[in-house]
Amino acid sequence: MTEMPLIIIGLGGILSVIVLCLGILFQLAPERGLAFATHRVENLTSVMVNRYFSMAAIMIGSLIYGKPEVIAFVFAVTGFTPAHDAWIYARAGQPYKKHVLPAVLSAFVVIGALIVYFNSGAA
């Protein structure tokens, strides 16, 4: 396996912390999050297009890469999104069932990938 240069790990770490901080800001103060990220409510549906395409690309990439531990991780993370959406909408008394299916299917992928991983002797 090729050793990853420290600068790449450092930059990736910095970007990860920035994204995490944005998530926290949006959770605690949505208006401030929108302002800081320079997002506008009227453009959020267009912004979501990119998010969905990016998530799909990451999911497909993990499947092509083919490592069960990577597949399990990616689908656990991306499966959290529809689960969280379902929770938000259910609490608000709004329709949420369309969000439950992809969350459950992601859980099946995670479980299946973990079974393959642990049965392969890699763990």
Asked if the model's pLDDT at residue 42 lies above 80, the reply is yes
User: In this structure, what DSSP letter does residue 93 have?
Assistant: T
Q: Locate 2 and state its tokens.
A: 């090729």
pTM of the model: 0.85
Answer yes or no: are the C-beta atoms of 70 and 110 closer than 8 Å.
no
Residues 97-110 have pLDDT tens digits of 999 999 999 999 99
Q: What is the pLDDT at residue 123?
A: 67
- Overall average pLDDT of the 91-118 stretch: 97
Q: What is the pLDDT at residue 73?
A: 98
Asked if the model's pLDDT at residue 41 lies above 70, the reply is yes
Residues 70-88 have pLDDT tens digits of 999 999 999 999 999 999 9
Three-state helix/strand/coil letters over 3-72: CCCHHHHHHHHHHHHHHHHHHHHHHHCHHHHHHHCCCCHHHHHHHHHHHHHHHHHHHHHHHHHCCHHHHH
Max CA distance (Å), the chain: 50
Asked if the model's pLDDT at residue 119 lies above 60, the reply is yes
Separation in Å, CA 61 to CA 34, 50, 74: 30, 16, 10
- Overall average pLDDT of the 10-33 stretch: 95
